[in-house]
Every structure is written in structure tokens, then in C-alpha cells.
Chain A
């Protein structure tokens, strides 16, 4: 029986749009929107990385002058040295840009949008217009954030967490806390709205648009990951949005939700009464902790798929992987208090938050165990996406283990707000998630653009980046152990921190080394767009639905036929099968080889 007869004509279809504006700019096609999100994240990640390099320059060479940089940033580096305000605004904007416009945007908005509908056999998202609105609202949020650099007072200074009361008072709390912070709040609010529209689409699409035969337990783990991430987004972003509304009312409307009585700032008494600074922390972290999983869970899904594909083995413990994703996402809503152990909370509450936090180690260990189980005894194909997926597992374990330190109240009292925390969250939420994005990029680039990325350059990129990120973030743990607080502008002014300077220099050099390695990625990406080797439909001999259609896929994904699914998502090396992979759309007999 041929594949074609297993499929049937489409129940509905719609014509592709015409004209540049509707085809590439205000497109409702999930694939175009996915690429738009991806490129927004690409611009953001290089901006965020540029800011981190300025931060690192200041930390390693606090007294040195950089005349050229002084010309580029005449306000922030007037005499060639970063002003304290400019340094703090770099820290704030680096965090905000990376968390929202890179780590949330690329894995979910980018790859989720592009790949999810195809992997479940749909022609588009359930609500294509909302999808388009979601991207353009995100873009408006990005513009609002960038605009904060150019307004009176510059960008905000208070960190990506925007802690009250200094975020609730306006310019008296610092130059960037005026108009710059208003724009920051606007940017976050727009991002929240956009994420909600996106999440709504992901959920409705996954529940309602699956092809015939695509039962829930036949969905690739990537789909489960994007689905769970959408649930988290749907429940977490409204709380941040609510917090932002209250903050804006405090700043503009004269309310006192977050501003306590008797506050004196810059020598001036503040005319607000009875608010609670801790309330902001609760609202922020109720969002903030699930946000960590919003960033990392799509990476887990992509890595599971990539490990299985290049190990040529089914994912070990598929059901356990699905349950673990849900467990991590679900538990993520009950642990926000571990960001606030030193806020004066009751020790009993802290114990509860601590226990729940440590419990997340169980599903995380299940996932790691199953990834290793997938690799066990495999004849691994060490392609670039596979290397980045293996790197993800390494970073996930390293970053996860330090999380167990920080999840314990008594240890966190020492580590809180030190470089140990900076090292920890960069490892797991930053770099592990970025490795997930790189793995996904190298894996799906041929599907999205029809050409393969250069493997040689990709492998060098992996090696340099892998060494680089460990060289940056492991020493940060040592700084934290020595009691070095984060966000300090100049550690050389403190006697007990002077010995840290040599380590700061190592980290800074490693940061520049790693940043330089990313240029290889850029070159590879754009060179491969035009000159890369033609990919064909299924260059990786993978099994899921996106590999059953042309690269890049046509406008309506599946052309004249509706896909019908007969197999699970990871049927590799099936005994008796003619080849070592059975695609989900292959006829039922493909798995046994009997016709």
C-alpha cells in the first residue's frame, strides 16, 4: 500500500496571500511568523550580548578608559568609562532583553510557531490572525524597550526584576527610573499580551487541529513541550501584567500598592502610605519562576527529539518524559518563594517552598536519566545539532545541581544576590536554553530554508561555545562562594573583593572569546541561507511529520493531501523494518516490513 493512498484530500484549504506586505510582513502563515519571531530573537540576542560585554569590560577593568566606546555612547561613557548609571542600565536591559525577547521568543514564538502545526499535521494555527497580532505586539514591546535608551534619563536601572519601591517612585530613584522605566513597563505589558495571544493559539491548535491518527501519545515530545509552555504562559503572564498595572498606578496614579509609609529617598520624604514592597516580589516571582520553565521546556522537547534522531533509538521512557514535563511545569507554580528567602518570610513558609523546590529535582532527574537511556548503547551520529543537544544535557545537569544548593533556605541565606546565583541561572536558564535554541536551529534550518548549515563551521562553533560558556560561568560560582555580591559596579573599591579582580578578568576574556565564536554562527547562518547544500525533504532521516514534506514546506504545508498518522514519533531501529526509521506517516506495515 503506498503512502499516497493512506492519505486523503484536504477538508479545507485557503489560497496563499499575494503582495509583499501580506506575504512577508503582515503574514498569517505560521511559518513566516515563526521566522519573524526567530529573527527578532536573533537581533535581540546580539544586542543583549553586546550589553553583557560592556558589563564585563567594566567589571574586569573598572578604571580603564575606552575612548572609542566613549564616542559610541557619549552619555553613558562620556569620558570613556561606564558611568554607574549606564552600567546598571546595561545590567537591567541585558536581563530584560534576554529573558523576554530571546529566551521566551525564539523557542516558543520562533520554533513553536514554525514547527508545531506541521508536527501535528495542521495547515496553520487555529487563529492565524491572532498569531500575526501576537508577533506584531511582541515587536511593539521590543520597540518600547529599545526606546527606553533614547528618552530623558535613559534606560531603567533597577534590574530585570524591577523591584519596588525604587521602581514605583519615578525619577527620584535614579535617572532611568523615570520615563525609561515607564517604557520598560509598557514593553513588558505588551510582551505579556502577545504571549497570551500566542499561548491561546498553541493550546487551541494542539487540542483541535491534530491530523487523523495523531493521538496525544503519538505527539512528538517537542509538541508536548510547546503545549506545556503555553499552559505556563497562559497562567503566569497575566500575573506579571497585573503587577505591571499596579506598578504603573503607583507611578502615575498616586496609589500606594508597593510603596510603604515613611520612605525617604535621596533625602526627600515620599508621599505614599501603607504599601508592601514584598507584594511586588510575590507577584513578580509568581510569574518569574514559571518563566524559567517557559524558557527551558521547549529546549527539553527539542533535545529529546534530536537525541533520539541521532542516536537512532526511540526516546527512552516516552510516557515518563511527558509526565516529567508536566510535573516540572506544574511544580514550577509553587516554588516562587525560593527567590524571596531573605525577604523576611516565615521560616515555616520557607521550608515549604524549599521542599517543593527540591522536589523539582525528581522530574528533572527523570528527564536526564531518560536522555542518557536514549543514548545508551547507541551508534551516535555526531552532527552539529546532536552536539548542541548533548551540550544542553551537560549544562542542564551543571546548572540544575547548583539549583539544589540555592533551593535550601540555610544555604541560600549566604548565596542570595551573589555571583553564585548569577552563575547558576545563566547556566540553566541562559546557556542551556540557548544551547537548546542552537540545537533546534541547526536541526530545523534545513526544513525552514531548504539548505543545510555547514557542519564543519557548526562543530567548531559548538566546541568554542561549549568551552567558552563553562569558562565564563563556573568561575562566577567561585566568586559567589567568596561572597561577591552581584550588580556591584566596581568591586575594587571593597577591600575584601580586591582579590576577585583576576577572576573577573578571566571571565571577561572568556566572554569576549565566546562572543567572537558567535560570529562563526552568524557567518554560517547567512552563508548557508544562500549557499548551503540543498537539504531535500528529510536530511536527518527523522520520523516526525515536518520531514515528510518539502523543504521549505509549501504555503499550506501538506499540499493536496491531508496527512494520516500511523506511528509513534520516535520509531527508530525497529526490528524487522526495511530502514532504521519509520516515519509517522508511513503505512502501518512499514514497521514490520510485511505487506
Chain B
């Protein structure tokens, strides 16, 4: 009981008589501006996306552990080209973010990022078609099922990111919106880099878990 009292766990918060005697001042804190709120929201939003992919990864590990019928499929070489495109898009977006921070010309880098993002998604569609063409249906092997699941889910998320990138590329510079242009590019960059990391994770899992 003494320990609990010492930790203050049994007092009634600020309503407790012994606390009342203390001088009280409003606690000052600077409220977040629109950019700060958007950043916070984006960071928080990464948690459920991570949980979704972790659920799939745990399912992958369980299914591989069962062993039955686990035959790896040969991934099209195009997947590696797509990986390079995605990594480059993260790089160009980073350049756009740096340029926008200085209030400089970010439109070119944003355009290139959009192009590379679009190329990645198109490349993935071709890769899926190639696999389908080779007879790898959704349910042919569990490894293949997971390939379609993981890459498909990543593509859906990236398509959302592409829309957000397009909006950020068109975002006004004149401060007419609460969220600044730099703020819009920053939140896109956080999301986009995260999806690049997820992609590297997916590929690593598919390689290690063959």
C-alpha cells in the first residue's frame, strides 16, 4: 500500500485534496498546425497497414510450415525491373520533398515520381499477366497464391498513394489551403517510402520462403 501511495496511484488525480494545495498553472502547449496534424495522421495510418501485411506474413509462415504442396514459382525477371523503378521513384520523391522544403521547383521531380509510380503499377500488371499466361493461376500453388496476395495488396495501396501524389503535385503554392504544398508532399513521401520498404519486405519474404 505504501508503494502504491508513493507512486501516486491511489490519489484522486488533481481532485485530490493534497494536490489542490499545489500552485496550478495552465499547461502551455503549442497546438499542431495543419501540416503537423497531417503528418501525425499519416504516421498513425502506417500502423494498420503494417498490421495488415503482418497478418499476411504470419499466414505465409504458417502455411510454409505446413509444407504440403509448397512449390515455389519462378518470378518473372520483370519483377526486378519493377523493384528498381519503385526504388528510383522513392529517390525522386525525396528530391521533390527537398526542393519543396526550400520553396524551390519540385514539380519536375513530382512529375517524374508520378511517372515512375505509374510505370511500377503497369509493370506489375504485365508481370501478373505473364504468370497467368504461364498457367500460374491464383490457386495453383500456395506460394503463387501468396505472391498474388502480397503483390496485389501492395499494388492497391500504391495506387492510393499515386492518387495522393497526383493531388500533392497539383497542390497550390499560394497558401490558400490550410495544408501547405510542402506538407502535402511530405505526407505523400512518408507513405510512399513506407510502401517501398513494404515492397522490399515482400520480395525478401518471397525469396527467403521459397
Contact = CB atoms under 8 A, between A and B. Distances in A.
Contacts of B138: 249, 253-255
A242 B52 contact: yes
B12 A318 contact: yes
B28 interface: yes
A499 interface: no
Contacts of B142: 255-257, 274-275
Contacts of A572: 15
Nearest to B50: A238
Interface in A211-227: 212-215, 217-218
B19 to A, nearest CB: 8
User: What's the dominant secondary structure at chain B's contact region?
Assistant: helix
Contacts of A591: 20, 24
Given A204-B41, A257-B145, A274-B66, A574 B15 contact: yes
Contacts of A236: 51
Interface string B33-61: 00011001100110111011011101100
B26 A565 contact: yes
Interface in A241-300: 241-243, 245-246, 249, 253-257, 261, 272-276, 279, 282-283, 286
A196 B51 CA distance: 12
A29 to B, nearest CB: 17
Given A213-B27, A571-B15, A316 B10 contact: yes
A87 interface: no
Chain B contact residues (Cβ within 8 angstroms of A): what range? 35 or more
B59 A234 contact: no
Interface in B58-91: 58-59, 62-63, 66, 68-70
A592 B14 CA distance: 13
Interface in B119-165: 137-139, 142, 145, 149, 153
B31 A570 contact: no
Given A253-B139, A254-B139, A570 B15 contact: yes
Nearest to A193: B48
Contacts of A213: 26-27
A317 B10 contact: yes
Given A238-B48, A254-B139, A282-B62, A209 B14 contact: no
B29 interface: yes
Nearest to A574: B20
B139 A319 contact: no
A274 B13 contact: no
A200 to B, nearest CB: 5
Interface string B153-183: 1000000000000000000000000000000
A253 to B, nearest CB: 4
A381 to B, nearest CB: 17
Interface in A165-214: 196, 199-200, 203-204, 207-210, 212-214
B145 A249 contact: yes
B68 A273 contact: yes
A237 interface: yes
Nearest to B59: A279
A319 B13 contact: yes
Nearest to A210: B29
Which one of B11, B14, B32, B153 has the greatest number of beta carbons of chain A within 10 Å?
A: B14
B208 interface: no
A51 B158 CA distance: 42
A48 B168 CA distance: 45
B139 A570 contact: no
B159 to A, nearest CB: 15
A279 B12 contact: no
B12 to A, nearest CB: 3
Contacts of B49: 238
Q: Which 8 A-B pairs have the closest CB atoms?
A: A568-B14, A314-B12, A314-B15, A318-B13, A254-B139, A242-B55, A213-B26, A274-B68
16 contacts: A200-B41, A213-B27, A214-B27, A234-B51, A238-B52, A249-B138, A254-B137, A255-B138, A255-B149, A261-B68, A273-B69, A282-B62, A317-B11, A574-B15, A582-B15, A588-B25
Interface of A: 11, 126-127, 196, 199-200, 203-204, 207-210, 212-215, 217-218, 234-239, 241-243, 245-246, 249, 253-257, 261, 272-276, 279, 282-283, 286, 313-320, 323, 564-572, 574-576, 582, 588, 591-592
Given A212-B27, A238-B48, A315-B15, 20 more contacts: A126-B40, A127-B37, A207-B40, A212-B29, A245-B149, A246-B56, A253-B139, A254-B139, A257-B59, A276-B66, A314-B13, A315-B12, A319-B9, A320-B10, A564-B26, A567-B14, A570-B13, A572-B15, A574-B17, A576-B20
